Amino acid sequence: MLERFRDYSNPNSLGSHFRRTRFRHVKKILEGILQVKSECKVLDVGGTAQYWNLLPDTLRKSIHLTILNLKNSRGADPRLDCPQGLHIDFVIGDGRDLSQYSENEFDLGHSNSVIEHVGQYHDMADFVREINRVASIFFIQTPNLWFPIDPHYGVPFVHWFPWPLRAWLLTKINLGFRSRFTKTEEAIDFVEFVNVIDKYIFTSLNPTAAILKERVLFLTKSLMMTNAENIVIEESVQKNLPNSGVGAAVTINNDLR
């Protein structure tokens, strides 16, 4: 039952609804780039082809997408359910070290719900720095620690438990989306694989970026980091804040958070 809520192959699932809502920012960024360029080069770090089915048909012919994942990445095969009419290259690499790419080689560096899986704080810092380096514009999303339901578990408040308790529970019962692990080391490995962060930590990874909120009722479900001028201006206008282009991210950052 719980799995249906995050079934991204089902356009009517709750997870698909939230993705579509967030993707409106990505769509506007791409549209802004394509106003001044005939083709947009996108690097999606840790992503899947299925995610890009959200891209309208009218934009697909102008997007050159590179999807980068670890050789032994977890989760669904990133090649499954490729969008029609979209050029995609699948490559092996590590988002913490994108030295195979030069500075600003891509127009957009994108990451959706990946940074919480790359390791500890210094790994996250490397991840953000590298995406910022290789792309002129970046858009990085992550779940918010203080939202009561973590998408990796699907059970309220569990992600706030101390990690030893979470690991112990995972060896005893089916926990939300997660079936019971038969080995303690497997449970610990999963717990260590998920490091959800909050606004304070996320902002510290790039203090000059604008931080946007995805809200559910009055709670912040996820956080998005970007330097996209058209998104920064849109958010500042909606909130009646001053803006001065991409550089305004520094000025309006505290108000957007």
**pLDDT value of residue 18:** 66
What contacts 253, CB < 8 A, 6 or more positions away? 203, 207, 208, 209, 210, 211
The amino acid present at 39, given as its one-letter code, is E
Task: Verify that 18 and 58 share a domain, yes or no.
Answer: yes
Q: b or e along 24-60 (b: 16 or more beta carbons within 10 Å of the residue's beta carbon)?
A: ebbeebbebbbeeeeebbbbbbbbbbbbbbbbeeeeb
Task: Verify that 116 and 226 share a domain, yes or no.
Answer: yes
167: containing domain = 153-193
Please tell me which residue, 257 or 240, carries the higher pLDDT value.
Answer: 240
Task: Verify that 158 and 251 share a domain, yes or no.
Answer: no
| CATH number where 139 lies | 3.40.50.150
Q: What is the pLDDT of residues 99-153, one digit of tens each?
A: 999 999 999 999 999 999 999 999 999 999 999 999 999 999 999 999 999 999 9
Element (H, E) at 248: helix 248-256
What contacts 179, CB < 8 A, 6 or more positions away? none
pLDDT range class, residue 247, cuts 50, 70, 90: very low
**pLDDT value of residue 17:** 64
Task: Verify that 143 and 162 share a domain, yes or no.
Answer: no
Task: Verify that 107 and 176 share a domain, yes or no.
Answer: no
Query: For residue 5, which phi and psi values (nearest 5 degrees)?
Result: -70, -25
Task: Verify that 229 and 143 share a domain, yes or no.
Answer: yes
Task: Please tell me what DSSP assigns to residue 159.
Answer: G
Task: Verify that 10 and 37 share a domain, yes or no.
Answer: yes
Element (H, E) at 31: helix 14-34
Task: Verify that 98 and 225 share a domain, yes or no.
Answer: yes
pLDDT range class, residue 244, cuts 50, 70, 90: very low
| pTM of the complete model | 0.87
23/111 Cα distance (integer angstroms): 11
Task: Verify that 172 and 204 share a domain, yes or no.
Answer: no
Task: Please tell me what DSSP assigns to residue 36.
Answer: T
**pLDDT value of residue 72:** 82
What contacts 199, CB < 8 A, 6 or more positions away? 144, 211, 220, 223, 257
Task: Verify that 157 and 74 share a domain, yes or no.
Answer: no
